[in-house]
């Protein structure tokens, strides 16, 4: 188990091919989630960054995390960015964040305005440890945190998994079913 305790991490589920949907649909859904208190956390605001090429898309701001449609790398998906209040080991925090992400993805897929038009893949998960002070993007840090990332990915995706370290600005891993 790693002693590294990054304060921030992101997880991203990728949409199935062709499932990018106009940002207005997500703006309406996220606003409704705020009004209906759909999430078990304090929700704050919705911000539309869809005009930014391959950017964060539509962001639902909550106290512990942001949920965002995301087009980074040219692949549309749903991202969960954990900001604070994370407790537990790195593995536990990744699993907790992943479960929150999966719950939001399930809820979006079930939304009447999105049903049948949106499907998230459950065989691949991008995990980024974006706290550069605690987890700088260095090979020795990757080796230290890899076991926690692999166990968390296996829990979220189902065994077996293959975890690949990406050469990215943040210490990033992609987990896929092997």
Q: Does residue 1 lie in a domain region?
A: no
Domain span at residue 83 reads 9-177
Examine the pLDDT at 168 and tell me if it is beyond 80: no
Dump pLDDT digits (tens) for 12-65: 999 987 666 888 999 999 999 999 998 888 899 999 998 888 778 999 999 889
CA nearest neighbour of 41 among 111, 101, 94, 95:
101
Q: Does residue 2 lie in a domain region?
A: no
Q: Does residue 38 lie in a domain region?
A: yes
Q: Does residue 4 lie in a domain region?
A: no
Its pTM stands at: 0.90
Q: Does residue 76 lie in a domain region?
A: yes
In which order are the strands placed within the sheet that holds 9-15?
43-49, 57-62, 65-70, 77-82, 9-15, 120-129, 171-177, 161-166
CA nearest neighbour of 82 among 9, 147, 148, 143:
9
Q: Does residue 63 lie in a domain region?
A: yes
CA nearest neighbour of 81 among 50, 55, 59, 52:
59
Q: Does residue 130 lie in a domain region?
A: yes
Dump pLDDT digits (tens) for 70-106: 888 888 999 999 987 678 899 999 999 999 999 999 9
Report the pLDDT value the prediction gives residue 159, as an integer from 0 to 100.
Answer: 75
The gap from C-alpha 105 to its chain's centroid, in whole angstroms, comes to 10
Q: Does residue 44 lie in a domain region?
A: yes
- Domain tally, the chain: 1
What lies within 8 Å, CB to CB, of 31 at 6+ separation is 46
């Amino acid at each position: 188990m790693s002693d590294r305790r990054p304060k921030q991490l992101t997880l991203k589920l990728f949409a199935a091919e062709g499932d990018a949907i106009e940002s207005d649909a997500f703006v309406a859904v996220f606003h409704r989630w705020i009004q209906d208190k759909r999430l078990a956390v304090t929700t704050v605001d919705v911000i539309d960054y869809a005009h930014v090429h391959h950017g964060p898309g539509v962001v639902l701001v909550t106290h512990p995390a942001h949920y965002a449609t995301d087009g980074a790398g040219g692949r549309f998906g749903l991202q969960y960015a954990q900001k604070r209040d994370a407790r537990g080991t790195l593995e536990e925090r990744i699993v907790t964040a992943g479960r929150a992400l999966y719950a939001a993805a399930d809820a979006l897929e079930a939304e009447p305005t999105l049903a049948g038009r949106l499907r998230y893949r459950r065989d691949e998960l991008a995990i980024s440890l974006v706290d550069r002070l605690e987890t700088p993007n260095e090979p020795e840090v990757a080796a230290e945190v890899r076991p926690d990332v692999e166990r968390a990915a296996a829990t979220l995706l189902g065994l077996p998994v293959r975890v690949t370290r990406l050469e990215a600005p943040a210490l990033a891993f992609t987990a896929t079913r092997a």
